[in-house]
Amino acid sequence: MHLSQRITTLNGGGSDGWGVFYRARQMIAEGTAVTELTIGEHDIRTHPSILAAMDRAATGGHTGYAMVPGIAALRDTVAARIHARTGVPTTRDNILITPGGQAALFAAHMAVCDPGDTALFIDPYYATYPGTIRAAGARPRAIVTRAADAFLPRPEALAQAAPGATSLLINSPNNPTGVVYDRATLAHVAQTCRDHDLWLISDEVYDTQVWEGEHLSPRALPGLADRTLVIGSMSKSHAMTGSRCGWIAGPPEAIERLIDLATNTTYGVPGFVQDAAVFALTAGDELEAEIAAPFRRRRQLAHAILARQSCVGLIPSQGAMYLMLDIRATGLDGEGFATALLETHHIAVMPGESFGSAAAGHIRVAMTIEDDAFAAALSRLCTFAADLAALNTQVAQ
């Protein structure tokens, strides 16, 4: 039977750079111990106090259909949090609760793009972005950044890509690079959106994972609140990846329409999950800091290890649970290096190529295993890279 063009072309074709990940999973299934530094998921589980709140809500009967836009308590809590952190007046009318940030990304593009519209995104990018845009019927157009610019988009690249586009998707703190957009970059992003009448879709799911500097939400910039949809999630801030709870914050007229979309697609998020999210978000900043702490620690460990060698370069990053490493001195591309590392040392990392062309020659390391094992794996990775680089130099001579 015929399947729609939309669904059969979702992945864009070609190699998606996820071969290393699947090979690692296959090795594990066959009984090989593999150190996985691949997926962006905490090595801790959801906090017992959040689970207890979920349990209370579920056994207390909150298991029926929940209000499609989200329960009032959660919409209010998310609105108050955003208002307090950004200074932008925000009420429940600005908030739609979604089954995670991924569903929010899809809904946001559905809300602003007509079929065939051009939706911009920044390369390197979180792996689902082009497919999400295609799923919404729009055409993805990448704005390619450079390692030398810490993968921040240049103003001229933004201005060049913008004419004729409908939306621009940015992500700070960034997956895969860990880079946090500075004020100047966000000012250029905002200017581009105003100049070219673009919607800004701002993926801020890592907003609690900032190790240096501060997270700035572009919705707070002049003239942006009316043209910005912010994507938020409980997944990273509260180690609730499996609970599927996130949100879109935006202008009430957009949220009203997005509620229509939710009615006809997801039909809301489980009430007991939303109750648990209210509990988590009102539990105080300490809980968020506790959940983020292991990544902060491991980043410090990584900095110390990387400072002792000169073969692997670190992209200067300030947030999120990842490190983007430049392994071009080895003479291999990201995929080649990641494959060799997996086969030789049973350490799995993501090739930069999995996140777009800009990150070729790099690898992404997720800081998602216990400290000692993480430090040991990173040290081994550096030694392996140094050996390859030495070989590479010999060959070149």
CA nearest neighbour of 37 among 304, 243, 256, 345: 345
8 A C-beta contact, residue 161 and residue 154: no
Q: In terms of CB distance, is 86 or 233 closer to ligand PMP?
A: 233
Q: In terms of CB distance, is 101 or 361 closer to ligand PMP?
A: 101
Q: Which stretch binds ligand PMP (CB under 6 A): 25-33, 100-108, 272-280, 355-363?
A: 100-108
Angle in degrees, CA 12, 265, 166, rounded to 5:
50
Q: Which stretch binds ligand PMP (CB under 6 A): 142-150, 233-241, 255-263, 364-372?
A: 233-241
Q: In terms of CB distance, is 118 or 177 closer to ligand PMP?
A: 177
Under DSSP, is residue 352 helix (H, G, I), strand (E, B) or coil? helix
Residue partners of 19: CB distance under 8 A and separation at least 6: 335, 339
* Candidate list 69, 246, 271, 334; residue touching ligand PMP; CB under 6 A: 246
Cis peptide before 124 (omega within 30 of 0): yes
Q: Is 274 in the site for ligand PMP (CB under 6 A)?
A: no
8 A C-beta contact, residue 190 and residue 224: yes
* Candidate list 77, 132, 228, 233; residue touching ligand PMP; CB under 6 A: 233
Task: Specify the residue for token string 């860990």.
Answer: 178
The structure tokens listed for 31 are 């009984």
Q: In terms of CB distance, is 20 or 329 closer to ligand PMP?
A: 20
What does residue 212 show for φ and ψ, rounded to 5 degrees? -140, 145
| Minimum distance, C-beta of residue 151 to ligand PMP, in the bound complex (Å) | 13
* Candidate list 38, 175, 185, 317; residue touching ligand PMP; CB under 6 A: 175
The single-letter code of the amino acid at 120 is L
Binding mask 24-63 for ligand PMP (x = CB under 6 A): ----------------x-----------------------
The structure tokens listed for 269 are 């998020």
* Candidate list 241, 317, 330, 354; residue touching ligand PMP; CB under 6 A: 241
How far is residue 318's CA from residue 260's CA, in Å, rounded to a whole number? 38
Q: In terms of CB distance, is 127 or 198 closer to ligand PMP?
A: 127
Binding residues for ligand PMP (CB under 6 A): 40, 100-102, 126, 171, 175, 203, 205, 233, 235, 241, 246
